[in-house]
Every structure is written in C-alpha cells, then in structure tokens.
Amino acid sequence: MSTTDLRGANDSPAQSAAAQMLLRVDGLGKRFGGFVALENIALAVPAGERLGLIGPNGSGKSTLVNCICGTLRNEQGTVSFSGQKLDGLLAHQRTHLGLARSFQLPRPFVSLTLADNIRIPLLYTVAKRRGSHQSAHEIEDRCGALLREVGLGDKARRLPRDLTQVEMRKLELARAMAAEPKLLIADEAMAGLTHSEIEDILSLLIRLNEQGVTIILIEHIMSAVMSFSRRLVVLVSGRKIADGPPTEVMRDPEVERAYLGQ
C-alpha cells in the first residue's frame, strides 16, 4: 500500500524533527480475537496541526482513537505524546498529559447536570495540573462558560436525558474541551447538526486551534473536513492509505476507490 506521505515525518533522519511532533504513532496494531482492526498505523502530528481523519465506517478510526487515548490497549506499536511514550499509561493519565477526546456515541454522566458533567474534567484534570485549588466560584464560572461556547449555556441545570442527540454531542465536545487539552480528538462531533450548527462548531474548533490546541477531527461530513483540515489522513480497513494535504489526498486514486468502490 502506498501512502501519499508528503511529510515523511516517520523516516525523518533528524531526531529533533520527531521530537517536535506532539503525537507520534508508530506501527500500531490492534486485534479483536481473529479480527485485525488496525495494522501498522504510523502517524505524526505536529503541535498546532488541524488534522482530518476520514474513512469508511468500520475502518478503525474510533479504534485508533481508543488506542491513542488508552481506552484500549494496542498489541503492537507505540504511541508517544510530547516525546513521552504512553505505553502502559492509563487513560486518565493520558488525559492529564494533555490528550482529550469526545466519544463518537455520546457518553454523558446521566445522573449529573450538564454543569456537573463539565465539572468532572475540571476537578480531576485541570485542578491536578495547576496544583492549586480553584475556588468553587471559579469552577462554576468555567462550567457555565464552556457550556455557553457550545450553545448549551441555558441548560446548565438540566440532566442529559433532557437533551437531544445533537445537544449531547455538543456536551461531549464541551467536556473534552474542559480538560484543557494540548490535543483534542473530536470523534464525529457534528453528526446530525444543521449547517449553521456545523459552522458554529467549526469556528469553535478553529478558535481553539488558534489558541494553541492541536485538533484531530474525525468526520464524515466532507465539507467540514475539507474546510477545516490542513492535512488529511485516510483509514480503510484498518490501514492508512493516504496522508497529506486535503486536495491532493482526495485526488488519490486509491482514496477514490475506497469511497466509490472499484
């Protein structure tokens, strides 16, 4: 399988170039019993990148995210974040290091209000990092601010079961943002949103990126992916088949084949 890999970051002779990569995935493989979900995935994401990750359903995108974030254990390969190998680190430790993700199928804390949902990462990730105690007032303000950023400000006291599917996705995103990550992986955060809502989320993500957050966007909505990504990675059947500037990747015949069939 050829990869349209214009960065060549994986084979870069200068180690210093590699060290500048915020996220490095090397030879990652994951099996479920006899089923190979991911095979030999290599990825290098520099700080500040806007990476789009696309691929047909079942190609392994969410599995890759799970392996990077520690929810699943990969059997082969390594993941490095800020130069540090993540092998053996639990998911919450990776979050403390600065990795955050939203779940493809929203997983809210159902017995807690929206504000409290946001409070959890604030209490357990941000507070841990700062070391100092944030006052209850500061935390409360931050919860409200984050909810307002995704358009859920007036629902802070509600429970997740009162939300629509779309609102739950926004909550997912807000919760991931609350962890103040260096790298945010948004897993299909825009499914089911209207055009203007997609625009809102996109500008939110771009704002975050301008503030220094590296973003990996996993999406099926091609217009959003194309406009947002500075680089595009394509996953098909557990393998990476393309990696480069979006327009070039979309012209790659193999990518066309994957989406349109033989």
Partner 1 sequence: MVFSLDLLINAVVSGILIGGFYAAVTSGVSLSFGILDIVNIAHPAFIILGSYIAYIVNANLGIDPILTSIAMMPAFFVLGSGIYQVYYVSFEKRGQESLRGLAFFFGLLFITEVTLVLYFGVDYRYVEASYIGPSWHFGILDIPMRILVPCLVSLLLTAGLQIFLTRTFVGRAVMAVAQDQLALRLMAVDPIRIKRIAFGVSIATASLAGAFLIIIQPVEPSVGREYIGRIFAICVLGGMGSLPGTVIAAMLLGIVESITATFYGPSWAPAVSFGFLLLTLAVRPAGLLGR
Partner 2 sequence: MRTPVFLLVWVAISAVVFAGSVWLGNDYIFFAGYVVLQYVVLGTAWNILGGYCGYVNFGSAAFFALGAYSSVAIYRLVTENDLYGLPLPLLMLIGGLVSGVVGFGMGYLTLRLRGAFFAIATLALAVVLQTLVVNWDYVGGSRGAYIIRPERIEPIGNYIQYLFLLMMALAVGALTIARLIEHSRLGYGFASIRDDELAAEASGVPTLRLKLIATTISGALMGMAGAPFPYYIGYLQPSSTFGLDYAVNSIAMPLIGGTTSWVGPLIGALLLGSLQQIATVTISSAVNLLIVGCLLVIFVVIAPNGIVGLVHTYLQRKPEDFVGRRRVEAEMPGKVP
DSSP the chain: ----BSS-GGG-S-HHHHHTEEEEEEEEEEEETTEEEEEEEEEEEETT-EEEEE--TTSSHHHHHHHHHTSS--SEEEEEETTEE-TT--HHHHHHHTEEEE-SS----TTS-HHHHHHHHIIIIIHHHH-SPPPHHHHHHHHHHHHHHTT-GGGTTS-GGGS-HHHHHHHHHHHHHHT--SEEEEESTTTT--HHHHHHHHHHHHHHHHTT-EEEEE-S-HHHHHHH-SEEEEEETTEEEEEE-HHHHHH-HHHHHHHH--
**Near partner 2 by CB under 8 A: residue from 24, 30, 50, 175:** 175
**Distance in Å, CB of 107 to partner 1, minimum:** 11
**Distance in Å, CB of 109 to partner 2, minimum:** 4
67 belongs to the binding site for partner 1 (CB under 8 A): no
**Near partner 2 by CB under 8 A: residue from 51, 179, 224, 249:** 179
203 binds, among partner 2, partner 1, none (CB under 5 to 8 A by kind): none
72 binds, among partner 1, partner 2, none (CB under 5 to 8 A by kind): partner 1
Q: What is the largest CA-CA distance in the chain?
A: 59
Stretch that binds partner 2, among 46-54, 84-92, 190-198, 237-245 (CB under 8 A): 84-92
Of 90 and 145, CB closest to partner 1: 90
71 belongs to the binding site for partner 1 (CB under 8 A): yes
x-or-dash string of contact with partner 2, 128-167, rule CB under 8 A: x-------x--xx----------------x-x--------
Chain position carrying tokens 């503030």: 211
**Distance in Å, CB of 70 to partner 1, minimum:** 11
Q: Which residues contribute to the site for partner 2 (CB under 8 A)?
A: 69-71, 90-93, 95-96, 100-101, 103, 107-113, 115-116, 119-121, 123-125, 127-128, 136, 139-140, 157, 159, 175, 178-179
Q: Which residues contribute to the site for partner 1 (CB under 8 A)?
A: 71-73
